[in-house]
């Protein structure tokens, strides 16, 4: 029954046709979860109309999240992992809202980090060091000293990284627990900007140099305790056979490393599972359980703790970017909806030509439908949130929702054009609660005080 009740759970295998979403939204079995539109033409977050949220909050634009959807997304991973010794490491770069971080931690999550500041936030949010992985191709020395002192797992990414980790361990006075980041060289078939596990990537060690790395670790067992291997193939991956293929190759690496006497206890398979951004099509994405089932047998034969590093698939569909229409214009060839949000708050369309579904938050009786580019006020032609979208012609003041904005949206927001990064809210048990204040101009000006 679960799938029937939960209209917008990204983690149950289903078609995302809006017809079906509407049918599910009508299902008479309790609270609906996530963002969806009903037959009345309004868009909802859980059981609350987004239009009503807009009227309750003072800011526009703002980010809105469904706490139920976050819970469900995490639960889908933990259910899928039952019977497997595992750590779910939330990749907090996807969304570092402190309350969202705390929520996952309370559900048992670990954290996957790419900076010392992320480590400090993860510790403040209560994440246990044994469940933290520190990643990156350019980790700084002082960050490494801090990470070793905290006792978190650290990935070795290169020769110089190994050297820095070794020195950091000596300074910290204890061994660093390290994993080797290996590039299995499996093509994730995604946008080149989010492909990270192929040979030409800037991440990971050169596989031909594996023996050099093992020899270096052997030389200095006091500073470097090699406990596992890591790979991260990329992001927005839509086929689980890619994870299977990578695991087959990683199993060989683990066997080779174990044969030299190392006690490999962790296999970190990385993150990267995609979500169905194309809400108006029948796009189907594999679920966490599809991913786990694809590698379950290989992993259990290995006798390791499996680490997963999901970011997007935990938060992506749980958030929306809510804007207000400022006006509609045409250049004679193209129609534009100009909104108050922009590439500064949500850069994925500009950066990766990413598609995120766009809807008005309410029906406009009698309005005709036209094809629009949805653009912001920032002085860049790249400032668009969507292109060629067929929508009803809105009036000024209408709400416009950019869906699936929970991952890599707020966390990538900038202050370009001196726009202040927006507030964040979530719907929690049917109530709208603020979970982050927006930046203020006073904070900005304070940076220049007394110079």
Ligand X SMILES: *Cc1c(COP(=O)(O)O)cnc(C)c1O
348 binds ligand X (CB under 6 A): no
Options 235, 342, 356, 398; binder of ligand X; rule CB under 6 A: 235
Options 54, 105, 166, 232; binder of ligand X; rule CB under 6 A: 232
Find the shortest distance in angstroms from Cβ 55 to ligand X: 33
Options 91, 122, 242, 292; binder of ligand X; rule CB under 6 A: 91
Residue with tokens 């599809």: 290
Q: Give whichever of 91 and 391 is closer to ligand X, judged by the CB atom.
A: 91
Q: Give whichever of 113 and 302 is closer to ligand X, judged by the CB atom.
A: 113
**Which tokens belong to 352?**
């990766």
228 binds ligand X (CB under 6 A): no
Nearest to 111, CA basis, from 138, 87, 143: 87
Torsion angle, alpha carbons of 23, 24, 27, 29, to 10: 180
Residues 6 or more apart whose CB falls under 8 angstroms from that of 37 comprise 18, 21, 22, 25, 43, 44, 359
**308 sits in which H/E element:** strand 305-308
Options 6, 69, 97, 135; binder of ligand X; rule CB under 6 A: 135
Q: Give whichever of 34 and 272 is closer to ligand X, judged by the CB atom.
A: 272
Find the shortest distance in angstroms from Cβ 270 to ligand X: 5
Find the shortest distance in angstroms from Cβ 356 to ligand X: 15
271 binds ligand X (CB under 6 A): yes
CA 94 vs CA 22, 140, 304, 337, 341: distances in Å: 28, 21, 26, 28, 20
- Residue by residue, what is the 3-state secondary structure of 188-211? CCCCHHHECCCCCCCCCECHHHHH
Burial class (CB in 10 A: 0-12, 13-18, 19+), 304: buried
112 binds ligand X (CB under 6 A): yes
Query: Restricting to residues 304-333, which ones interact with ligand X according to CB under 6 A?
Result: 309-313
Find the shortest distance in angstroms from Cβ 204 to ligand X: 10
Q: At what angle do helices 98-106 and 116-124 cross, to 10 degrees?
A: 60
Nearest residue relative to ligand X (C-beta) = 311
Q: Which stretch binds ligand X (CB under 6 A): 6-14, 91-99, 249-257, 292-300?
A: 91-99
Q: Give whichever of 311 and 341 is closer to ligand X, judged by the CB atom.
A: 311
CA dihedral (324, 446, 120, 229) positive or negative: positive
Query: Restricting to residues 383-402, which ones interact with ligand X according to CB under 6 A?
Result: none
Find the shortest distance in angstroms from Cβ 90 to ligand X: 9
Q: Which stretch binds ligand X (CB under 6 A): 57-65, 100-108, 265-273, 419-427?
A: 265-273
Gap between the Cα atoms of 408 and 428, Å rounded: 22
Q: Is 379 an annotated catalytic residue?
A: yes
67 binds ligand X (CB under 6 A): no
Q: Which of 121, 379, 409, 438 is catalytic?
A: 379
Tell me the residue length of the chain. Answer: 451
Residue with tokens 């980010």: 63
Q: Which residues bind ligand X (CB under 6 A)?
A: 91, 93-94, 112, 135, 232, 235, 270-273, 309-313, 407
Active site residues: 379
């Amino acid at each position: 029954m679960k799938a029937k009740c939960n209209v917008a759970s990204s983690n149950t295998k289903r078609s995302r046709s809006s017809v079906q979403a509407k049918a599910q939204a009508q299902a008479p079995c309790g609270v609906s979860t996530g963002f969806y539109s009903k037959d009345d033409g309004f868009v909802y977050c859980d059981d609350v109309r987004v239009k009503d949220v807009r009227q309750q909050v003072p800011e526009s634009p703002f980010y809105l999240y469904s706490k139920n959807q976050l819970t469900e997304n995490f639960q889908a991973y933990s259910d899928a992992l039952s019977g497997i010794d595992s750590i779910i490491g939330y990749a907090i770069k996807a969304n570092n809202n402190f309350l969202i971080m705390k929520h996952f931690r309370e559900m048992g999550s670990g954290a996957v980090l790419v900076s010392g500041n992320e480590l400090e936030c993860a510790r403040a949010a209560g994440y246990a060091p044994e469940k933290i992985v520190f990643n990156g191709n350019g980790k700084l020395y002082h960050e490494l000293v801090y990470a070793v002192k905290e006792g978190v797992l650290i990935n070795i990414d290169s020769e110089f990284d190994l050297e820095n980790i070794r020195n950091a361990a000596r300074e910290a006075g204890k061994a660093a627990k390290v994993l080797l980041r290996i590039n299995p060289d499996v093509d994730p078939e995604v946008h080149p900007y989010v492909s990270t596990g192929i040979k030409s990537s800037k991440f990971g060690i050169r596989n031909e140099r594996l023996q050099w790395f093992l020899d270096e670790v052997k030389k200095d067992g006091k500073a470097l305790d090699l406990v596992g291997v890591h790979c991260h193939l990329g992001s927005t991956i839509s086929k689980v056979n890619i994870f299977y293929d990578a695991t087959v190759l990683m199993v060989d690496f683990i066997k080779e490393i174990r044969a030299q006497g190392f006690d490999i206890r962790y296999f970190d398979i990385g993150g990267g599972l995609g979500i169905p951004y194309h809400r108006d099509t029948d796009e189907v994405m594999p679920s966490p359980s599809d991913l786990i089932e694809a590698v379950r047998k290989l992993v259990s034969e290995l006798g390791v703790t499996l680490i997963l590093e999901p970011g997007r698939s935990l938060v992506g569909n749980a958030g929306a970017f809510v804007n207000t229409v400022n006006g509609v214009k045409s250049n004679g060839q193209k129609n534009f909806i100009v909104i108050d949000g922009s590439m500064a708050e949500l850069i994925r369309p500009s950066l990766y030509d990413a598609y995120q579904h766009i809807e008005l938050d309410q029906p406009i009786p009698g309005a005709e439908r036209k094809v629009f580019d949805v653009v912001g006020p920032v002085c860049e032609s790249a400032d668009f949130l969507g292109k060629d979208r067929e929508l009803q012609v809105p009036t000024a003041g209408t709400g416009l929702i950019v869906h699936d904005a929970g991952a890599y949206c707020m966390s990538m927001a900038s202050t370009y054009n001196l726009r202040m990064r927006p507030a964040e809210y979530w719907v929690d048990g049917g109530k709208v609660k603020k979970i982050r204040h927006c930046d203020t101009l006073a904070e900005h000006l304070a940076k220049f005080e007394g110079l």
